[in-house]
Amino acid sequence: MKKMFKTLCGLFLFPLVLNSPTFAASKTGVVDAYAIYENSGTKYFFFSIANYYALGEDPGTCNTTSRFVFDDTKGIFELLSSSLMSAHHSASTVNVNYAKNCTVSTTSYDVNYACVGGLTPC
């Protein structure tokens, strides 16, 4: 019975570990540029943060452009893209939470979510 309980606990806790913030990173800064792109029916939103390297980020092996990206498979594509465009044009600070992988685009980190302004915690 104890072994089954431990197994069940492990099965329930394992997804929490995988979704832990330790596997994500974040950057705070001003969106200095963005690009909207469409390919084969999929929309992409690329953007960069001012002084990316000055903020202490090593681009790693896949993020060779110092950019972040998300596509329209993310349910909040319209909200997130319009928020980031507004932040760019108003020079508002954003906090970007991202995965250190490049699955959406082979040259840019994948965005999980972003907060605009001084909202903390983001």
Query: How much is the average pLDDT of 40-67?
Result: 79
Residue written as token pair 């994500």 = 24
Pick the closest to residue 77 from 122, 48, 114, 40 (CA basis): 114
Distance between CA atoms of 104 and 44, rounded to whole angstroms? 8
Residue 122 has pLDDT above 90, yes or no: no
Distance between CA atoms of 6 and 30, rounded to whole angstroms? 46
Provide the residue ranges of all domains of the chain, joining segments of one domain with +: 23-116
Distance between CA atoms of 82 and 26, rounded to whole angstroms? 20
CB 80 within 8 A of CB 86: no
Query: How much is the average pLDDT of 49-77?
Result: 79
Helices in 49-116 by DSSP H: which ranges?
Answer: 77-90
Distance between CA atoms of 82 and 89, rounded to whole angstroms? 11
pLDDT-derived band of residue 100, with 50, 70 and 90 as boundaries? confident
Question: Percentage of the chain with pLDDT > 90?
Answer: 53
Which of 5-9, 66-70, 98-102 shows the lowest per-residue confidence on average (mean pLDDT)?
5-9
| CATH number for region 23-116 | 2.40.50.110
Residue 19 has pLDDT above 50, yes or no: no
